[in-house]
Amino acid sequence: YVLHEGLIGYTGTEGLQEHKYASIEKDKQAQPGKSTDGWLGITDKYWAVTLVPTEKQPFQPRYAYFEDGRHRYQSDFLTDAINVDAGQSATVETEVFAGAKEVAKINAYAEDRHIKRFDLLIDWGWFHFITKPMFWLIDTLYKFFGNFGLAILATTVIVKAIFFPLANKSYASMANMKKVQPKMLEIREKYADDKMKQQQAMMELYKTEKINPLAGCWPVALQIPVFFSLYKVLYITIEMRHAPFFGWIQDLAAPDPTSIFNLFGLIPITLPHMLMIGVWPLLMGVTMFLQMRMNPTPPDPTQAAIFTWMPIIFT
């Protein structure tokens, strides 16, 4: 999944705990083991509210769902009983965080208030070791350019430049595959009824032409986690919410507000969300189509049709 929304917490005994609304509705309640450090609360994409028990004070966290005329989700905790002698007093402190999940503030609270792994309140995902540096790079470039849109473009260029040697190998492999495609078609037609001989002939062709059919795949596969992390940063961080770019783009966290079906805003009509195909999605579709054209056409008609329709579907 891309983003966790629901009940969340961290304890030193059991680590990060995440309960989606649907799962806690089904289970009604979840009680991890007692702990002496950690935090718990409820989070959505940009906002969160958390409770931070007193450090070193044992507490029992609980995540629960109640249906008393309305859906109610609750993260709470129970501390051990405290004996107070007559005439004496005792104090138990609980800190509360409620607000936007801004990276700098979350990190500052974690450091200043000694809240263990409070950074996990932001869903950096499985590739957090890539996602966090990616955010740092975008944020650093934003401070330089003063515009998140330019920072994102610059980050994309930097990442592309880093992966250029791998991408170049991939393109070279695809070009070689395209050259031998007529011979591959001949082999498939010649041994259409004998898959074993067809595979043997293909392997012999690869050996003769010094082609590795997987050489074009692994460079692309290595880039997937990086570009997914870039997408993750753009999707989850509140810093880009309501951040303007140029022209009609006044919120980088929102879909393109224009559409080809209202002549990009010239016709004052409200369109369904599915018809909001603006300039940026169209540019993405065109670039994807051009990239597809650089690859050799798959010999399988069904696969070729899928590749043809992919730019349209993703647009």
- Tens of pLDDT along 193-223? 878 888 888 888 878 877 776 666 676 778 8
Residue 1 in domain: no
pLDDT value at 154 more than 90: yes
Q: Please state the domain count of the chain.
A: 3
Residue 31 in domain: yes
Query: What value does the mean pLDDT of the chain take?
Result: 85
Q: Are 61 and 40 in contact (CB under 8 A)?
A: yes
- Domain containing residue 44: 6-123
Instruction: Clarify whether residues 140 and 71 are in a common domain.
Output: no
Number of CB atoms found within 10 A of residue 218's CB: 14
pLDDT value at 292 more than 80: no
pLDDT (tens digit per residue) in 246-270: 888 888 887 777 888 777 777 777 7
Percent of the chain with pLDDT over 70: 91
Residue 285 in domain: yes
Residue 109 in domain: yes
Lowest mean pLDDT among 9-23, 99-113, 175-189, 207-221: 207-221
Residue 243 in domain: no
Element (DSSP H or E) covering residue 115: none
Instruction: Clarify whether residues 168 and 139 are in a common domain.
Output: yes
pTM over 0.75? The answer is yes
- Any idea how long the chain is? 315
CATH of the domain at 38: 2.70.98.90
Instruction: Clarify whether residues 108 and 13 are in a common domain.
Output: yes
Instruction: Clarify whether residues 210 and 143 are in a common domain.
Output: yes
Which is nearest to 21 in space by CA: 42, 46, 51?
42
Residue with tokens 């078609």: 185
Last residue of a domain, one of 69, 93, 123: 123
Which is nearest to 4 in space by CA: 168, 174, 121?
121
Last residue of a domain, one of 97, 123, 149: 123
Cβ within 8 Å of residue 124, ≥6 positions away: 131, 132, 232, 236
d(CA 100, CA 239): 10
Which is nearest to 76 in space by CA: 7, 122, 19, 16?
7
Residue 196 in domain: yes
Instruction: Clarify whether residues 117 and 142 are in a common domain.
Output: no
Amino acid identity, residue 205? L
pLDDT (tens digit per residue) in 28-82: 999 998 998 999 999 999 999 999 998 778 899 999 999 888 889 999 999 888 8
Instruction: Clarify whether residues 37 and 119 are in a common domain.
Output: yes
Instruction: Clarify whether residues 201 and 132 are in a common domain.
Output: yes
Instruction: Clarify whether residues 97 and 33 are in a common domain.
Output: yes
pLDDT value at 271 more than 80: no
Instruction: Clarify whether residues 270 and 228 are in a common domain.
Output: no
pLDDT value at 280 more than 90: no
